Homo-oligomer: A and B are copies of this chain.
Amino acid sequence: MTTTFLHDLLARRRAGHSLEAPFYRDEAVFQADLAHVFGRHWIFVAVEPQLPQPGDFVTVDIGRSSVLLVRDDDGRVRAFHNVCRHRGTRLCAAQQGALGNIVCPYHQWTYDLGGALIHADHMPAGFDREAHGLRPVHVQLLAGLVFVCLADEPPEDMQRMVSEMTPYLAPHRLAECKVAAQVDIVEQGNWKLTMENNRECYHCVANHPELTVSLYEYGFGYRPGPQNAEGIQRFKDIMAASHARWEGMGLPSREIDVLDERVTGFRTQRLPLDRAGQSQTLDAAVACRKLLGSFTDPALGGLSFWTQPNSWHHFMSDHVVSFAVLPIAPERTLVRTTWCVHRDAIEGVDYDVARLTAVWNATNDQDRRLVEASQAGVADPAYEPGPYSPYTEELVEKFTRWYVQRMRALAA
């Protein structure tokens, strides 16, 4: 694929419509996605509770890049390319663990937790150790969420996201949580289809019986009409009352939406939950008796936080659930879901893992099937881009528009 081909594809994108097929299938577009979207933006990769102690590490694959996250002896989260500077061996094959130094399994080249090469046998007198330290990766923490940027010069507007989002997220004290469960699933589809699926609930009623226990039907867009005017008004009233109550408790709740206005695009909103109103569970009641931070009221709804290009999160009174979308191949994507509860909550007493994870395990699997049906369809020569609903697929359009804008700026 020439740059011209990508340029033309991007140039003829029709607003309000799904993308042309090559965006979902072409190897060269995928490589451009890795280079420009995943290689030059802030990517959500982990939560701090995965790295509670100095020496704890996590490895995350972003395409062919493996990033080694490690908490150093000063308690700081560091990130490095997981590649030995000798002959390129993968340093840590495990997805997580703990280590003192970082020792290459091949010839025992040894790096400290700051990435400095501190030992390399058999190298000659003039060998420059300092020139052979691990290559660092930029890290940014946000209230317990860990983002990395593979580029030398990361987008600067991350700081605005951090300052705007910290008041929303901080009360949930994610960094003081523990991981209760983490599940990886692989979807046989392009990562953008996974993201588009996440950005609308048009498909929820017919596909997600478990999720829609707690979700309000009108929380994610609806074509207004006489038949639903009453329901929409009732939802607006509940929303206004809930926001007033939560803001009074010091919990910012109003929508911020800069999804397609910023390089580091995001959206947040604290949404009331239906029924028990407490948590995304099968009865909408909390899944963990021990509430997060200093919360005492379980009915805090769900604070949702969506980021471009690859994550979403729901912060509730009792747990936080985070989703990272990590592309593997043009038609294969990893979705990693992490559930965190209060560090002092006791499994089997305060919470039950099956109950905690039931809604999203079911929903993820349903979404996987939809993504895979979409992938099969867009791969069909008969596919042509179709129209998004302006009522229910506005955020899909914002994702797609952001993607096209960023690719136009960087890749074409």
A residues touching B (Cβ–Cβ < 8 Å)? 18, 21, 39, 63-66, 81-91, 93, 105-108, 121-124, 127, 132, 135, 150, 196, 202-203, 206-207, 221-223, 369-370, 373-374, 376-393
What is the total number of copies of this protein in its complex?
3
10 shortest interchain CB distances as A-B pairs: A81-B382, A88-B377, A122-B389, A90-B376, A88-B383, A88-B378, A90-B377, A122-B223, A86-B386, A90-B373
Q: A107-B203, A203-B106, A380-B65 are in contact. Are A386 and B85 (CB under 8 A)?
A: yes
Contacts of A86 in B (CB 8 A): 386-387
Contacts of A135 in B (CB 8 A): 382
Q: A207-B105, A387-B123 are in contact. Are A380 and B81 (CB under 8 A)?
A: yes
A interface secondary structure, majority: loop
Instruction: List 11 other contacts, CB 8 Å, given A18-B88, A90-B377, A93-B376.
Output: A65-B380, A81-B380, A83-B382, A87-B374, A88-B377, A90-B376, A91-B377, A105-B207, A106-B373, A108-B206, A127-B387
- A89's partner among B88, B374, B387, B393 (CB-CB below 8 A) is B374
The residue on B at minimum CB distance from A81 is: B382
The residue on B at minimum CB distance from A125 is: B223
Q: A121-B202, A123-B223 are in contact. Are A83 and B391 (CB under 8 A)?
A: no
Q: A65-B380, A196-B87, A380-B66 are in contact. Are A202 and B390 (CB under 8 A)?
A: no
A18 touches B122 (CB 8 A): no
Contacts of A108 in B (CB 8 A): 206
Q: How distant is the Cα of A369 from the Cα of B89 in the complex, in angstroms?
A: 11
Q: A83-B382, A122-B223, A370-B105 are in contact. Are A377 and B202 (CB under 8 A)?
A: no
CB distance from A339 to the nearest CB of B (A): 27
Contacts of A64 in B (CB 8 A): 379-381
B196 touches A392 (CB 8 A): no
CB distance from A249 to the nearest CB of B (A): 34
- A83's partner among B90, B124, B369, B383 (CB-CB below 8 A) is B383
Contacts of A386 in B (CB 8 A): 84-88, 132
The residue on B at minimum CB distance from A85 is: B386
Contacts of A380 in B (CB 8 A): 64-66, 81-83, 88, 90
Contacts of A121 in B (CB 8 A): 202, 223, 389, 392
CB distance from A369 to the nearest CB of B (A): 8
Contacts of A105 in B (CB 8 A): 206-207, 369-370, 373
A106 touches B374 (CB 8 A): yes
CB distance from A384 to the nearest CB of B (A): 8
Contacts of A390 in B (CB 8 A): 124
The residue on B at minimum CB distance from A66 is: B380
CB distance from A124 to the nearest CB of B (A): 5
